[in-house]
Amino acid sequence: MAATADVQRRALLRAGLYVIPLLASARVLAHPMPDTEIVVGRDATTVALDIRLPFHDLLLASPPGLPRDARTLLAGNQPSLRSYFAAHTRLLGPADRPVPVTIGTIRLHQDHGADVGAYAELEVRAVARVDAHVRIRLAYDAILHRIANHRALVRDHRGRPIGTIRYSLASRRASPLALPNGPSS
C-alpha cells in the first residue's frame, strides 16, 4: 500500500514538472504558419528533427512542374521530395564535418487557423545518428533558398526556442544554427 502511495506521489510530482513547460509552450506549439517550425529532439545517440512547413511556400520554392495539389504531390513524389529535403537539411559536426541525415516519410497536415485561414503543412522527419555530447549545427534552407522572408523557427521538444534560421539578404545564405547537446552530455 505504501509502495502504491509512493508510486502515486512520484507520478504526481512528475506530472507537475512536465505540465509546466507543456502549458507554458501551449501557444508556441500552435501551427507555425507562415514560417517553418523545426522541433529538435536529442537522446544519447540520435538527433531527430520534426519539420513542419507551409505547403504553399514549398510549391513556390520548389522546381516548376511539380503537381500543385498536395495529395497528388505526396502520393507520387516522395523520393524527389526526400531528395529536396536531404539537399536542404544538413547537420554539421566538429570542423563542419557533414553528419548523414535520413529523411523519413513526408506527411500532409491540413487545418484551419483563425489567424491564417485554411492551410496545408508538410510534416517531415529527419534523423541522424549523433552522440549526445557531439556539438552539431543545423544548416537548413528548404524554402528559405527561394523565399527571402521565410524563417525556420527552431525549438526543443519542450517548445523552448533554440533560435531562428533566416536567409540573409547580405550574405545570400542561411547561417547554420548551433543545436544544444543531448540530455546525457
Selected from 1, 3, 16, 100, the binder of another protein by CB under 8 A is 16
Give the CA angle between residues 29, 31, 77 to the nearest 5°: 125
Query: Measured from the CB atom, is 104 or 163 closer to another protein?
Result: 163
13 forms part of the interface with another protein (CB under 8 A)? yes
What is the spatial distance between Cα 84 and Cα 173, in angstroms, rounded to a whole number?
A: 17
Selected from 7, 44, 87, 116, the binder of another protein by CB under 8 A is 116
117 forms part of the interface with another protein (CB under 8 A)? yes
Number of residues that bind another protein (CB under 8 A): 36
Please report how close the Cβ of residue 88 comes to another protein at its closest, in angstroms. Answer: 15
What is the spatial distance between Cα 152 and Cα 124, in angstroms, rounded to a whole number?
A: 13
Query: Measured from the CB atom, is 147 or 162 closer to another protein?
Result: 147
What is the spatial distance between Cα 153 and Cα 38, in angstroms, rounded to a whole number?
A: 6
Burial 85-99 (b: 16+ CB within 10 A, else e): beebbbbbeeeeeeb
Query: Residues 25 to 54: which contact another protein by CB under 8 A?
Result: 25-28, 34
Query: How many other C-beta atoms are found inside a 10 Å radius of the C-beta of residue 39?
Result: 20
Please report how close the Cβ of residue 76 comes to another protein at its closest, in angstroms. Answer: 24
Amino acid identity of residue 116, one-letter, is V
Query: Measured from the CB atom, is 39 or 58 closer to another protein?
Result: 58
